[in-house]
Chain A
Amino acid sequence: MSDAPDDHLLALLEQGDARGFDLIYGRYAERVFGFLLRLSRSRPVAEDLFQHTFMRLAEVGPRLRAGSDLRAWLFTVARNAFHSHTRSRGVEARVDVQLMPVPCDAFVRPDLGLALHELERALARLSSSDRELLLLLGVEGLSHAELAAVLELDQVTVRKRVSRARVRLAEALDVDAEVMSHSPVSE
């Protein structure tokens, strides 16, 4: 049952069977939370938005049409919740990465190599719109078509934006490497 396709889990949910919810939750909770944490760079905010996303699933999930792309739906809800949150807080807070050695305490893990730490830090330097593209495409493995559905854009626009975001990530990684090489503190 745990490797049942998403459609089957949605069908369970449609029948009001809470096992459907449990299985979807087991499959996507960590992934949605990781996306929100990396996007918001704040654990309390990510927890709020995570809660909103899965309460929404419990409310609306039973009415989702058969054949709906559950993964894309969940990330759409999570992303929209993040954008509503940033709109309600005004302009997105700028984070000075020079003053913030690690993007978020959640990512300080001894088993994480230096290269991945640099990548987390470089991601945190990007704007949230670049970050969401790269997280959904790179980390979550969404296709360009799924990404276009989540962002409500056409695929050509998505490809252009992804291409620009990749360039900016590469630049952020270069800057990071430079900062690390001049840092007096070594890991």
Chain B
Amino acid sequence: MTEVDELLARLRKLPAVQLDADFKASVRARARRKVRQAPRPTPFASLAVAATVVLYLGWALRFASGLYR
């Protein structure tokens, strides 16, 4: 084993660092809430948005054409 490999082997022996238990739990709780708050859009939601846009544009067109009658 060369000197440099020995260095890496020594680095690997460095112990893990302990996190403060309260801090660890508080970060976990905050992040967990964020995971739940990020629902993925479903195909139904996308269709509903698209339908709303089409209806709105149709209504706007009808309204605008009504102005020039």
Contact = CB atoms under 8 A, between A and B. Distances in A.
A67 B31 CA distance: 22
Task: Classify the secondary structure of B's interface with A.
Answer: helix
Interface in A53-103: 54-55, 57-59, 61-62
Interface string A139-160: 1010000000000000000000
B62 interface: no
A58 B11 contact: no
A18 interface: yes
Interface string B18-48: 1100011001101110111011100000000
Contacts of B3: 170
B62 to A, nearest CB: 39
Interface of A: 13-14, 16-18, 20-22, 25, 29-31, 33-34, 37-38, 47, 50-51, 54-55, 57-59, 61-62, 106-107, 109, 111-112, 115-116, 119-120, 123, 134-135, 137-139, 141, 163, 166-167, 169-170, 173
B20 to A, nearest CB: 8
A155 B56 CA distance: 54
B17 A22 contact: no
The contact size tier of chain B is 20 to 34
Contacts of B4: 163, 166-167, 170
A48 B27 CA distance: 10
Nearest to B14: A139
B6 to A, nearest CB: 9
B7 A169 contact: yes
A112 B15 contact: yes
B17 A33 contact: yes
A116 B12 CA distance: 10
A105 B41 CA distance: 46
18 contacts: A21-B28, A21-B31, A25-B31, A29-B24, A30-B16, A30-B19, A51-B30, A54-B31, A55-B30, A55-B31, A57-B31, A58-B32, A61-B35, A109-B15, A111-B15, A120-B14, A139-B14, A141-B12
A119 B10 contact: yes
